Structure 1
Amino acid sequence: MIKETGFRGVFELRKGRKRVLFTENLVPGVSVYGEKLIKKGDVEYREWRPDKSKLAAAIIKGIHQVNLKPDTVVLYLGASTGTTVSHVSDIVGKGGFVFALDSAPRVVRELVFLCEQRSNIAPVLADANQPDTYKDLVPLVDWLYQDIAQKSQVDIFLKNVDLFLKPGHFALLAVKARSIDVTKEPSVVFDEVRKNLEKSLIVADKVLLKPYQKDHCLFVCKKR
């Protein structure tokens, strides 16, 4: 039986010890990246695979809070081709909205096709390291998510949180340790990232994403 998890808009099916995650499909009958579609009664669900999405991996790995819910306005940095973006779109629903930003024109072209099917997503072609260039396109948001594998990923995150996130709201940062410093152990990099984040934000939770994503950690932060 598919039932809702402790996270609003996220559902699960238990098969022994295995948990399979789902979101309710905003566009019934349409698969975004080849994921399974399952219909139960009048509702269609899309499988949310942890090997394809760091946010799904964090939920499977036991993160305690995500703070994403229906009717939320989201800024998603590092949207890529829209795999996780599409599930965030499912969760926020028709009353929410997702600004999906990426710096690669080829990727944003694919996002445009996704947006033709999903009216609650807008693609933004921009460099997340220069938030001033899109501050007139993106309003203050309720929730921010970043997945950018660059050396300066923490600074990029902090600049965008400062400019776009409402006070008291949450932002999630997916950190790839090897992109920051390939010479250090990932655990050392994650400790340094946490100390950096805590200078201006409350770090509410963090979880390692292995075995789904090697040398990755997801931080949940709250803006003061």
Structure 2
Amino acid sequence: MQLREIFPSIYKLVNGSQEILATKNLTPGVTYYGEPVYDVDGVEYRSWNPTRSKLGAVILKDIQEMPIKPGSKVLYLGVASGTTVSHVSDIIGEEGHVWGIDFAPRSMRDLLDKVTRNRKNLSPILGDARDPSSYSAYVPLVDVVFADVAQPDQADIIVKNADHFLKKGGWFMLTIKSRSVDVREKPKDVYADQVRIIEEAGYKVHQVVILDPFEKDHAMVLASSV
């Protein structure tokens, strides 16, 4: 099996015609959602299922820039039970940190039980992403804000959080779930409306990536502070 690094600390494992997205396991011997692991030259890599992770999906859709890197400080909105954030934890490594926000107590319990107990670079916070002031005492300025929230005001939510926490020159990544915003509108029109909100707030949109076929009626916006 061959190993190819496609972004810093993000890999493709190549076995003949098969390509597997993967991250180097920060906690060798421990997995989190039944993901297969592979040993390459004595190093353990966790496969990253793009059908269960919008971040994994957008990486395979050839994004131009991957803002989350080794050492990054990341605010993750809508962290849920921890599938994607476990890979973010792998990427940023011991020098980085991720603060994970979710309003659902059940998801937070699962995150604590399955992921956080083994990873010192992950801090879970029970909170409402629509009210960043409620957790501002716990989250410093960050390099990246990542949002995966099923709310009709998705762009407004990430703008509020970026205004609070994003460093100058930092990036954010917004998963747009078009059916959560407006089921009556065509997805492309929903994406355009959300992009307009982001740009009117003073952020620069670099790329909008449609996540089909991994996620139907979803897109990812990559933007940065000016």
Output the TM-score relative to the length of structure 2: 0.96
Shift of 1:154: 1.0
**Distance (Å, rounded) in 1 between the aligned partners of 2:87 and 2:153:** 26
Shift of 1:13: 2.2
Q: Structure 1's 27 and 209: CA in aligned 2 closer, same or farther, altered over 3 A?
A: same
Instruction: Count residues in correspondence.
Output: 223
Residue type matched to 1:202 in 2? K
**Distance (Å, rounded) in 2 between the aligned partners of 1:54 and 1:134:** 25
Structure 1 SS opposite 2:111: helix
Give identity over the alignment, percent.
Answer: 43
Query: Are 1:154 and 2:164 counterparts?
Result: no
Structure 2 SS opposite 1:191: helix
Over residues 156-200 of structure 1, what are the superposed CA-to-partner deviations in whole Å (9 max), with x where a residue is unaligned?
Answer: 110000000101011100000011110000011111111221111
User: Contact (CA 8 Å) 2:104, 2:126: kept in 1 or not?
Assistant: yes
User: Contact (CA 8 Å) 1:19, 1:60: kept in 2 or not?
Assistant: no
User: Contact (CA 8 Å) 1:61, 1:209: kept in 2 or not?
Assistant: yes
User: Contact (CA 8 Å) 1:102, 1:125: kept in 2 or not?
Assistant: yes
**Distance (Å, rounded) in 2 between the aligned partners of 1:136 and 1:216:** 32
Residue type matched to 1:57 in 2? A
Ranges of 4+ aligned residues in structure 1 off by more than 2 Å: 13-19
**Distance (Å, rounded) in 2 between the aligned partners of 1:102 and 1:128:** 7
Shift of 1:64: 1.1
RMSD: 1.1
Output the TM-score relative to the length of structure 1: 0.97
Q: Residues 105-184 of structure 1: matches in 2 within 5 Å?
A: 105-113=105-113, 114-184=115-185
Over residues 17-54 of structure 1, what are the superposed CA-to-partner deviations in whole Å (9 max), with x where a residue is unaligned?
Answer: 65321000000011110001001122100001110100
Query: Are 1:46 and 2:46 counterparts?
Result: yes
